Structures are given as structure tokens and as C-alpha cells.
Structure 1
Amino acid sequence: MSVSKKEEIVFGLMMCTGMVVVMMTFNLWHTGMLSQMNLMQVLIQLVICFVIAFLVESFIVGPVARKIAFSFSFARVSKIKGVLTMSFFMVIGMVLVMSLYGIMTAYAADQLNGESLFSAYLHTIARNFSLALPYQLVILGPLVRYVFGRWVKGRAVTTVSI
């Protein structure tokens, strides 16, 4: 949807903000850490997670997902198929990387409670993917595309129903 590098950065910031806030809140709640942290601790974690997620999305997952998604001919001929394919591969990449980040922070905070790193990582991937994909496809993706089209691009965007 974005054309210039500036638009690409703004779109990425919008998408990353929406994903990080929801996914981090979900994971802190799921592990019971949300009730144990004060607001400042949550905000610090949010900022750190956001910076890591944005850098990973911008320099690793985004370029790889774009290359994979648009290697499929159907993703190049239909805008909606391209968006869905790109979103799917972005979610896979980001869930794999950010789940690893989450497991590393849980391990550093001694929160794994005897569970093996590998088992915890696989469980975290499954849990995060089950929320991230529908959230991205049904809620955040269409919302960010709409807001981006109206606010950044300054034009009306037709929404596509799935």
C-alpha cells in the first residue's frame, strides 16, 4: 500500500504499534506478569519490545516476507491476495522471532518454571500465532490500511471484506 520509504516507515510504525500493544498485553496477561508489574515496568517493556519488533520487521522479516509472498504469482496479480499473502508471511516471521524474544526474557527473569526452552518456545509460537493471525487479518490490518489511506495518503480507501 505504501509507495515511498517514508510511507513504508509510517505504515510499519502503525502496524507494529498495534501488534506490539495487543500481543505484549496478551502474553503478560497469559503468564500472570501483567498483575505483577507496575505501569512504568509495563511501559518500559512496551518500548523495548516495540523497538525490537520494529527493527526486526523493517530489516529482517519484512524483506524476507515480501520476497516469499510475491514469489507466488497469485499474490502479484490480485491486490487482496497479495495483501493476505504478505500478512500471512509477516505474521509467521514476526511470531517466530518475537516468541523467541519473549522466551529469552522469560528465561532471563526465571519465569519458565522448569519447562524446557524448546517446549516453551513451541508453546509460545502456537499461542501467539493463534491470536496474531486472526487479529492481523480481521482487525488490525484493515484498520491500519483504512487509517493509513485516509490520514497518510489523504484519500479514501475501499475496504475489502474477507
Structure 2
Amino acid sequence: MPKNRIQETIFTVMMVIVMVYGLVCYNIALETGGMKNFIFVAALSELPIMGLAAFILDTFIAGPIAKKKAMKLVNPKRDNPFMMVLAISVFSVLFMCPMMSFVATILFKGGFNAEMIATWLETTVKNFPMAFFYQLMIAGPFVRWIFGLIFSDKKVATEAEPQKEC
């Protein structure tokens, strides 16, 4: 997991890209009546604006709140470290899903109109199960795996270093 502010920012960018792309694909599929190949390309056009919104909301609102809530629920000294990861992930979805659904409602679903609140609530309810399971089962593990490959603490053995034989 991230060990400094630079790593935290890189991790957030990676998670935002994976989560936003997946949820944009999902929402386009909902709008078009099902998943189709064109959606993978169409989602790329929404990725920059929704990604920027997600990065800002996660960095300044949802991320800090999720970490505080997770720290109240999980004791890092006593509990398995995975429990902290799980708690942060759950709280992140809990806060990010309504906020990002609101952004999508404003930008892509009619904006400020008489039905805005109803549209936002409907969008949140439709997105929440997908965001929750996608985060816990696909995006979260995938991003943590890639992040671990990039920022591995393991020392790579070189020929200059003697290898111990068992």
C-alpha cells in the first residue's frame, strides 16, 4: 500500500481510472440496453471529466473520511491488515458512489431540472451494487496488484549479489 504522498497520489489515479472506466461502461450499457463492443470506446470520452471529478472528490472528501471511519472500525495493531483495506474500500464506495452519481446526473442525465433529485437517487441505487462489488472483487485487487508490482519493496537479486543456497 502507499507509503508516502506521491505513492498515495499514484494509487488514487490508478484506482480512479479503473473504477471510473468500469462504472462509465456500466452506465452506458444501462442506457443502451446492454453491453456492446462500442461501449469500451465510448466510455473513453467520459473518462477525463469523470476521472477528474472522482480524483478531486476522493482526494479531498471521500478518501480522508473513509480512512477516518475505517480507523474507528478497525484496529491496525490488533486486526488483520486486510480488514483495513476492506474497511477503506467499503467506506470509499459508500461516499464516492452518491457523489459521482450526482456528477453524472448533472453532466449526463439532464442536469438541474425538476427531476434532478429523483434521477440522482435512481442513478445512485443502480450504481451502488456495481460499484461495491466491482471495487471489492475486481478494481481493488487489480489496482493493488499492479501497484505492488510497481512499488515492490522486494530487492531484486543481481549477479553482483551472492545467492544463498539452501
TM range (shorter): 0.7 to 0.9
Cα gap change, 1:132 to 1:155, in 2 (>3 Å): farther
Is the deviation greater in 54-63 or in 76-85? 76-85
Q: Which runs of 5+ in 1 are unaligned?
A: 157-162
CA distances 1:38-77 after superposition (whole Å, capped 9, x unpaired): 9997544211111111111111110111111111144663
Alignment of 1:86-125 (within 5 A): 86-105=88-107, 106-108=109-111, 116-125=115-124
Alignment of 1:35-74 (within 5 A): 42-74=43-75
**Separation in 1, partners of 2:154, 2:25:** 32
- Give me the CA root mean square deviation: 2.8
Q: Aligned AA for 2:5?
A: K
Conserved? CA contact 1:95–1:125, under 8 Å: yes
Give the fraction of aligned pairs with identical amino acids, expressed as a percent. Answer: 28
How far the C-alpha of 1:32 sits from its partner, in A, is 2.7
Give every structure 1 segment of 4 or more consecutive aligned residues whose post-TM-superposition deviation is greater than 6 Å: 37-41
Q: Which runs of 5+ in 2 are unaligned?
A: 156-166
The structure that has the greater radius of gyration is 2
Could you state the TM-score of these two structures normalised by the residue count of structure 1? Answer: 0.81
CA distances 1:60-95 after superposition (whole Å, capped 9, x unpaired): 110111111111144663211111110000011110
Could you state the TM-score of these two structures normalised by the residue count of structure 2? Answer: 0.79
**Separation in 1, partners of 2:145, 2:74:** 26
Cα gap change, 1:138 to 1:155, in 2 (>3 Å): farther
Q: Aligned AA for 2:94?
A: I
